[in-house]
Amino acid sequence: MIPEHSPLSPEQRISLDELVSGFSIFQRAWVAGYLSAEKSHSAVEAKAPSIATQLTVLYGSESGNCEKLADLSAKEAKRRGFKATVKNMAEITPTDLTKIDNLLVIVSTWGDGDAPEAAISFHKQLMSDSLQLPKMRYSVCALGDTAYAKFCEIGKQVDARLEKFGATRVSPRQDCDLDYEEPHQAWLDHALKALNAGSSSLSTNSVSPEIDPTATEFGKKKPFPGELLERVLLNGKGTSKETWHYEISLEGSGLTYEPGDALAVIPLNAPDVIAGILQASKLSGTEHVEIKDRGTKILADALREDLEITALSRAFLTKLQATTQSSKLAALLADDAKDKLKDYLWGRWISDALFDFAGKGLSAVELVGLLRKLPPRLYSIASSPRAHPGEVHLTVASVRYHAHGVDRKGVASTYLADLVKQGDAVAVYTHSNKNFRLPAAAETPIIMVGPGTGVAPFRAFIEHRASLEKKGKSWLFFGDQRYTYDFLYQVEWQEHLACGALTKLDVAFSRDQPEKIYVQHRMLEKSQELYAWLQEGAHFYVCGDASRMAHDVHEALISIVEKEGKLSRQDAEAYVEELKKAKRYQRDVY
Ligand SMILES: Cc1cc2nc3c(=O)[nH]c(=O)nc-3n(C[C@H](O)[C@H](O)[C@H](O)COP(=O)(O)OP(=O)(O)OC[C@H]3O[C@@H](n4cnc5c(N)ncnc54)[C@H](O)[C@@H]3O)c2cc1C
Ligand SMILES: NC(=O)c1ccc[n+]([C@@H]2O[C@H](COP(=O)([O-])OP(=O)(O)OC[C@H]3O[C@@H](n4cnc5c(N)ncnc54)[C@H](OP(=O)(O)O)[C@@H]3O)[C@@H](O)[C@H]2O)c1
Ligand SMILES: Cc1cc2nc3c(=O)[nH]c(=O)nc-3n(C[C@H](O)[C@H](O)[C@H](O)COP(=O)(O)O)c2cc1C
């Protein structure tokens, strides 16, 4: 019943009572949030608290996007009068949620629908624990990438789990693609207004326009045109790989970085790929189109500079079906469970789908409406700013493959390899990664496992340590296909060994003998010594391939702890989990 002391007339109270009588708790909360968002003075205003509403912003992040958004969200919540605190999923357990009344969750998805590295333990527990959260009011913002089959999977799971535990979703979940800033702001505005329902002391202003995620003049919103100073092919003649070392100037940019950070590269699409899209759409490229935040352009320029024109996803095919009404495509999309869609997506590009399902062609406006913004690519920085002030170095494997009878290539890696000449400018910005850092104390020993391009951040680590007077021991496990052609930065490692910046180097060349030898095999061979380093407090780092290598190295680490620590498998797993919690086991895998 609506209380008599509400600002409503008796008739209004009766109507409202009738209207909401069949509503669930969730529906009532949603309506409260909705009315609040509409700046309506609803009945719930009577419950204004006298002290600032406590709000927890909980994030799970791997490459830092959710962490940055959590900080921005808390800042904005404080501006509106909330008492907001930011928490990392790495640092709390699901049981801690029982103490929280108002919660905003910002979480990304990694791997193949997995939680971000630092949030794995929290997520696993959340999915298995049983909690009672009847007082909690919450909303979730999920970050992801529509190119992946399990889009925003972790955000979806967390959202469903909180609801299952009795918490009230005050505002709908927002699933964000790579272009997440605007959807996040809209979500935050709505969620804060919904949480605000009940507190007349809080401001209902929209999200502050002052919010600007760029800390320096140049940044994500305004990439820096860095000159390509140098490019060196790291593989020798006869190799089957193509790994480049690039040196890019940051002079005058104001951009800074630390070893462990990444560089975002904003690529341009290649002329032959643009030609393929135009041919498939039956367009000339001279048509004028409107691009969000960029204004009116010639279509061919928009396809080169602004739009993703290769990566094929379910999200793209769904939009294409809505535009073309193709029944063939509708059948393919409906057949998701039978893996036909997955098979179709593998190795194909957007132009293939246009040929297959948009036979009559498209208008320029239709084509642009189907395409998402061209996302930047991250590359682990391979240099220390102490060793190369004003420069940033990268180690990039060119992605080239053959599928469905056509030679294909990765956008950014081959943009750098094929289209950027020495002296040209590349649009870049630095991307901080607080989850991949050298130990605070320079004396702490470090163990680094970095096969292939995974070695990049370790070049930065060792260059940094070489510049210090006092330094702890360091041990690198490197692997690639063949010793003769693929020993990336071989001379540099030898110099670092000679001067003591690098203490030990173990290498695994997988194709120099009939059987595969990988970095984890070298780790297992040296298990006693590796465990001794860990017992001395060494930090353990892994960088490179996420799909197989990182998993196999993780398993090898557990086996080493089990054998050398004479522990059960369960205790060895707990030991490795503790290393992670203490930030002594860090991964940068992709
Ligand atoms: C934090 C982080 C750090 C990174 N650091 C580095 C680094 O130091 N060095 C580095 O080289 N990369 C690094 N990467 C990877 C890098 O960001 C890019 O993903 C990579 O260069 C590919 O981008 P691209 O634009 O060239 O390819 P895209 O245009 O993105 O194409 C890649 C896609 O092509 C398809 N594909 C590729 N090979 C095949 C195949 N054989 N068969 C069928 N389909 C295929 C897949 O769909 C794949 O997703 C890092 C990634 C992250 C997230
Ligand atoms: N998202 C992308 O599009 C993209 C782009 C570039 C790179 N990557 C990823 O990043 C990785 C790095 O590429 P890269 O060319 O520098 O090196 P890489 O392909 O990882 O190869 C480096 C070495 O690791 C070996 N290796 C293969 N499987 C392994 C395993 N399970 N455990 C340990 N070592 C293993 C390779 O051996 P063999 O080759 O003999 O098996 C090779 O000797 C790639 O594997 C790829 O997954 C992704
Ligand atoms: C190797 C890799 C795997 C990813 N896997 C997924 C995925 O399975 N589903 C998804 O929606 N997004 C996926 N993403 C996209 C990330 O969720 C997205 O980049 C997000 O903005 C990262 O946020 P964070 O920096 O806070 O971790 C993946 C990204 C990378 C680089």
pLDDT of residue 320: 98
The percent of residues above 90 in pLDDT, for the chain, comes to 84
Alpha carbon of 350 to ligand 1 centroid (Å): 17
* Atom of ligand 1 lying closest to residue 415 CA: 26
Taking only the tens place, the pLDDT of each residue in 75-90 is 999 999 999 999 999 9
What's the distance, CA 109 to chain centroid? 7
CA distance 28 to 39: 17
pLDDT of residue 339: 87
Kindly list the protein residues whose Cβ atom lies closer than 6 A to any atom of ligand 1: 63, 262, 310, 347, 377-380, 395-397, 399, 401, 403, 410-414, 453, 456, 588, 590
102-108/224-233 β-pairing: unpaired
E runs forming strands in 198-242 = 224-233
63's CB contacts (< 8 A; 6+ apart) are: 108, 262, 378, 431, 433
pLDDT of residue 491: 98
E runs forming strands in 10-117 = 54-60, 83-88, 102-108
Testing ligand 2's pocket by substitution, the residue of 239, 545, 553, 590 carrying the most ligand atoms inside 8 A of its CB is 545
pLDDT of residue 537: 98
pLDDT confidence band for 357 (50 / 70 / 90): very high
Please determine, for residue 341, whether its predicted confidence score (pLDDT) is greater than 90. yes
Instruction: Give, using CA atoms, the residue closest to atom 20 of ligand 1.
Output: 413
What average pLDDT does range 473-477 have in this prediction? 98
Query: Half-sphere exposure (CA, 13 Å, Cβ side) for 30?
Result: 9
pLDDT of residue 181: 94
Task: Give one DSSP letter per residue of 455-504, joined into a string.
Answer: GHHHHHHHHHHHT-SS---EEEEEEES-HHHH-TTHHHHHHHHHHTS--E
Residue spans of alpha helices (H) in 53-97? 65-79
pLDDT of residue 25: 54
pLDDT confidence band for 260 (50 / 70 / 90): very high
C-beta neighbour count of 223 within 10 angstroms = 20
Please give the structure tokens belonging to residue 480.
Answer: 């690639």
pLDDT of residue 159: 98
Instruction: Give, using CA atoms, the residue closest to atom 5 of ligand 2.
Output: 399
Please determine, for residue 196, whether its predicted confidence score (pLDDT) is greater than 80. yes
Taking only the tens place, the pLDDT of each residue in 498-552 is 999 999 999 999 999 999 999 999 999 999 999 999 999 999 999 999 999 999 9
What's the distance, CA 14 to chain centroid? 50
Please give the structure tokens belonging to residue 29.
Answer: 């909360």
Average pLDDT, the chain: 91
Please give the structure tokens belonging to residue 98.
Answer: 């029982």
What average pLDDT does range 461-479 have in this prediction? 95
pLDDT confidence band for 48 (50 / 70 / 90): very low
What average pLDDT does range 445-455 have in this prediction? 98
CA distance 184 to 180: 6
Alpha carbon of 413 to ligand 1 centroid (Å): 7
Alpha carbon of 29 to ligand 1 centroid (Å): 43
Contact between 357 and 320 (Cβ < 8 Å): yes
Contact between 456 and 381 (Cβ < 8 Å): yes
Instruction: Give, using CA atoms, the residue closest to atom 23 of ligand 2.
Output: 480
Taking only the tens place, the pLDDT of each residue in 95-108 is 999 999 999 999 99
Alpha carbon of 589 to ligand 3 centroid (Å): 11
What average pLDDT does range 67-76 have in this prediction? 97
* Atom of ligand 2 lying closest to residue 486 CA: 43
pLDDT of residue 211: 42
Alpha carbon of 439 to ligand 1 centroid (Å): 28
Taking only the tens place, the pLDDT of each residue in 277-291 is 999 999 999 999 999
537's CB contacts (< 8 A; 6+ apart) are: 444, 445, 584
Contact between 310 and 273 (Cβ < 8 Å): yes
Kindly list the protein residues whose Cβ atom lies closer than 6 A to any atom of ligand 3: 61-66, 108-113, 116, 143-145, 148, 150-153, 178, 546, 590
Query: Half-sphere exposure (CA, 13 Å, Cβ side) for 60?
Result: 33
Please determine, for residue 43, whether its predicted confidence score (pLDDT) is greater than 70. no
Looking at all shown ligands, the one closest to residue 65's CA atom is 3
Please give the structure tokens belonging to residue 185.
Answer: 């702001």
Taking only the tens place, the pLDDT of each residue in 284-326 is 999 999 999 899 999 999 999 999 999 999 999 999 999 999 9
pTM of the model: 0.88
Looking at all shown ligands, the one closest to residue 460's CA atom is 1
**What's the CA dihedral at 252, 257, 263, 264 to 10 degrees?**
-70
What is the three-class DSSP state of 585?
Answer: strand
pLDDT of residue 78: 95
pLDDT of residue 317: 97
Contact between 131 and 165 (Cβ < 8 Å): yes
Bridge partners (DSSP) of residue 396 are: 244
The percent of residues above 70 in pLDDT, for the chain, comes to 88
Kindly list the protein residues whose Cβ atom lies closer than 6 A to any atom of ligand 2: 241, 397, 399, 410, 451-454, 479-481, 510-511, 516, 518-520, 544-545, 547-549, 552, 590
What average pLDDT does range 570-589 have in this prediction? 95
pLDDT confidence band for 461 (50 / 70 / 90): very high
Please determine, for residue 356, whether its predicted confidence score (pLDDT) is greater than 70. yes
Please determine, for residue 193, whether its predicted confidence score (pLDDT) is greater than 50. yes
